[in-house]
Chains A and B, each alone.
Chain A
Amino acid sequence: MSSVLPSVLSDTALIFGRYARQTLRSKLQMFFGVLMPLLYLFFFGPLLTDVPLASEGSSWQVLVPGLLLQLALFGGSFCGFGIIVEKQYGVVDRMRVTPVSRLALLLGRVLRDAALFTFQAVLLVLAAVVMGLRAPLGGILVGFAFVAVTTVALSSFSYALALKVATPQEFGPVVNAATMPTMLLSGLMLPMALAPGWLDALSHVMPLRYLVDGVRAAYVGDYTAASVLYGALVAAGLAVLAATVCARAFRRAAA
C-alpha cells in the first residue's frame, strides 16, 4: 500500500497540470465565469446600500459572501460540460485504459476548478472593495476557502452527472433545474433573516444556506460564531460525499 499514496499524488499533479495549462491558454475560461456575479455586484449591489437587511455590517458584507457562493455554485455545477466533450473525443477512455489512479482523474480536474474559481473570487472581491466593501482580511480569506471547497463539491457532482448523460442537451437543463432553486432557497442574494418563517425553514434543507451564513459571519469578523463552524462542516461533508460519488463514477464510467 505504501506506493499507492504517492502515485495518487503524482497522478493528481499530472492531471491538474494538464487542465491548468488548458485553462491558462484560454482567457475566456479564465475571466468569463466572474461576469455574472460582477453584474450583480455593479447593478444589484447599489440597490441594497440603504435597505435594512436584518444583518450585521454593511450591505456589501451581506451581498459579497452571497455572490462568492453564487460564483462557486454556477461555476462548479457547469464544470461537467468539459468532460462531455472530452468523452466524445475519447479522451476519458484513453486516460482510463492507463494505470492512472481513478481518484486522480477526478482530483486533478476539481483542483483545477477550485483554483480557477478562487482566482475569480479574488477578482470579484477586488471589484467589491472598489464598490465600497470593507471587511476584515481574515473573513475575506475564509470566504476564499469556502469558494474552493464548494467548487470541489459541486464540480465533483457535475462530473459524476456528466459521465452518466450522453449529450450536453441533457446536461444543461438538469443543472439549471438544480442551480436556480439552490440559489433562491439559500439566501445568496438577500439573507433569509428577511424571509417569512416557512421560507426560512425551507431554506435550512439547502446545504448552501449554511455556507453563506458562515461566510457572512466571517465577513463581519465573527469567526467564533456557530454558523462558521456549521458552514465549514457542511462544506467539508459535501465535498467528501461528492468526491466519493464521482470517483466511483470514474471507476465505472461506461460509455
Chain B
Amino acid sequence: MAVITASGLARTFTTKRGTVEAVRGIDLTAERGEILGLLGPNGAGKTTTLRMLTTLLAPTGGSATVAGCDLARDPAGVRRSTGYVAQSGGVDPNVSVREELVTQGRLYRLPKAEAAARAEELADALGFDGLLDRKCAAMSGGQRRRLDIAMGLVHRPAVLFLDEPTTGLDPGSRAGLWELVRRLRTDFGTTVVLTTHYLDEADALADRVVVVDQGVVAAEGTPRALKTEYTGSPDASLQDAFLAITGRGPAPADTIPVAV
C-alpha cells in the first residue's frame, strides 16, 4: 500500500519579476518501508516538493496524501505522522540538546514523562547520550546531524523526510547516517524520502530514485534500471545516468577560465 501518493503537485511563487514555477507537476508514490531518493540539479524543485509534502508550503496545484491523510483537507493528520529534517536542521544553538528534544516531543503532543524518556532513548540510539545537557552549539557536525534527525523521530513517524541529510558530513559520519536510515526501515518499517546531490548515496541507499528537473519528474526507477535505460549498462555509474537524464554534461573545456 502506498504511504505517499502525489499527483500533479505544483507550486508557483509570485515575485516582483513575475511568476516562478518552482514545481510544475510532480507525480510520485512511496511504499511502506521504502527508501526513496529525490535527485536533481540545484533549483530543480526538490526542497519545494518536500516543503509541500510536510504542509510547510501550500501547493498551488495538484494533490497528495501522506500516511493516509490528504494534504489539503487534513494537514494536522499529515503532521502527526511525518517527520521532517530541513537542510538547516532546526535547533537553536544556544539551547540544550535535552530541552530541544523534549520540547519537540511535547509539540508532537507526547506527555511530559514520555517526551523526557524519548529524548534519552533517541540520544542513546543515535549515539549522543553523553551530550544531552550540552548546548546544541557544542556538538560536532556529525552529532548535530544525528540530533536533527532525532528531532524528526521523536513521535515515531510513519514517514520521514530528509532534505540533504549528509551534506557537509565526513565519510565516516555519512556511512553512519546511511546505516541509521536502513535501521529505521528494518526496525520500524519507516518510509524515508531523502533528497541528495551525492549520486553514490542514492545508489547505496535508495530502493528507488526519482530524478526531478525543472519542476517535473524527469525519470524514475531503481538505480540499476536507470543506469541500464540511460547509459545502456547496469555497471555504469548513476552519475552518467543522471547527466544523461538531465542533459547537463560537464561544462565544455573552453568555457573554463584559465585564470580568475
Contact = CB atoms under 8 A, between A and B. Distances in A.
A93 B79 contact: no
Interface stretch (B25-33, B52-60, B190-198, B200-208): B52-60
Given A89-B89, A97-B56, A18 B109 contact: no
B117 interface: no
A94 B109 contact: no
A215 to B, nearest CB: 35
Nearest to B105: A98
Interface string A243-255: 0000000001010
B103 A14 contact: yes
Interface string B63-107: 000000000000010011011101111111111000100011011
A240 interface: no
B107 A88 contact: no
A134 interface: no
Contacts of A14: 103, 106-107
Contacts of A88: 88
A99 B110 CA distance: 11
Contacts of B94: 22
B82 A99 contact: no
Contact of A18 (B58, B84, B90, B99): B99
A93 B90 contact: yes
Consensus secondary structure, chain A interface = helix
B79 A90 contact: no
A22 B88 contact: no
Interface string A104-133: 000000000000000000000000000000
Chain A interface residue number, banded: 20 to 34
Interface in A196-225: none
A166 interface: no
Given A14-B103, A90-B86, A98 B79 contact: yes
Contact of B56 (A11, A18, A93): A93
Nearest to B47: A255
Nearest to A18: B103
B57 A94 contact: no
Given A22-B95, A97-B82, A89 B88 contact: yes
Contacts of B107: 11, 14, 95, 98-100
Contacts of A99: 76, 79-80, 107-109
Interface of A: 7, 11, 14, 18, 21-22, 86, 88-91, 93-100, 252, 254
Please name the 10 residue pairs, one residue from A and one from B, whose CB atoms are nearest each other, closest first: A94-B90, A90-B88, A90-B90, A98-B107, A97-B84, A100-B107, A99-B79, A90-B86, A99-B76, A97-B54
27 contacts: A14-B103, A14-B107, A18-B99, A22-B92, A86-B92, A89-B88, A89-B89, A89-B90, A89-B92, A90-B87, A93-B56, A93-B84, A93-B86, A94-B89, A94-B104, A95-B107, A96-B55, A97-B54, A97-B83, A97-B84, A98-B79, A98-B104, A98-B107, A98-B108, A99-B80, A99-B108, A100-B107
Interface of B: 54-58, 76, 79-80, 82-84, 86-95, 99, 103-104, 106-109, 151, 155
